[in-house]
Structure 1
């Protein structure tokens, strides 16, 4: 029997999906949550075989839960279920070595097949996400420029970004000027949006 845990903040979808999966002879739903922090706490207690995670949830995102489990409970298989086909989310999921990344609008039969596949040690990604990743635009920013923009995107001021990267304020400003030019962005917010959309952060 494969033990499942579902973390999905849309209560209706949470209940419906849990019910569908629980009907399978070899699947059993050991718990569900609509809050990410609650989900992580319960997962570590219940020790399911496979965890199904939404990305956007209150308390903690699915990607944050995946990172925690990868470090502390690597034997638990993680499948991300999302409506977001964004390359940046997909790349983050790959970096935490999730076993699966599927879109919510796919057939439930595909999800059931994916659960059995990851239990056999396979990795299952939605084809459209893989295509999106391989056709992605190359990052025009240097590694250092990407670090500067990531620091700003994380809410740091120019001064704080400079301190965290061991640079002067003027150097960070120069980097930001170059970043805006390379991304053809009119301001920092637009530059961050462009970089995130393309998965460069």
Structure 2
């Protein structure tokens, strides 16, 4: 910008020197001569100032365009970062949901395991008391067999729940639906083997 101002000033100096050289270098004594000098200066310097103004406007437009391009690039970068943060936040929220569901399912499995372990212990204790009930030997043997069978079924469920809990703990899941799809059929097979057991 300083260069353009320097060009205008240099142009004015050259125009004045040229005018003085052409007309003997003396100051004018008549108003008409001053009027002619003003017209001369306006004719020479005016287009020069217009040209410099045009360059200044073009430079301003170019600088504004660069600023807009920079702002556009920064906006795109900001949007990309926000999209990345949003994806990360969604991923973290989904991961937290999956972990909470896994923890809940592990608690359920632990409760079932404790309940069936207790049931097995109770059935075995009942089997030992059968002979003291005053039943016949045949009734005692049948009752003891039933209690032991029931205890054995409960122990099998405890083992199955333990394996299921272990599998749930070590497997990486992407969603709650994936956990449900994998473990609901297995839970049904353990709880209701006659209805959902292997064909």
**Shorter-chain TM-score range:** under 0.3
TM-score by structure 1 length? 0.19
TM-score by structure 2 length? 0.19
**Structure of higher CA gyration radius:** 2
Looking at secondary structure, tell me which structure has more helix per residue. Answer: 2
Which has the higher relative contact order, 1 or 2, with Cα contacts under 8 A spaced 6 or more apart? 2
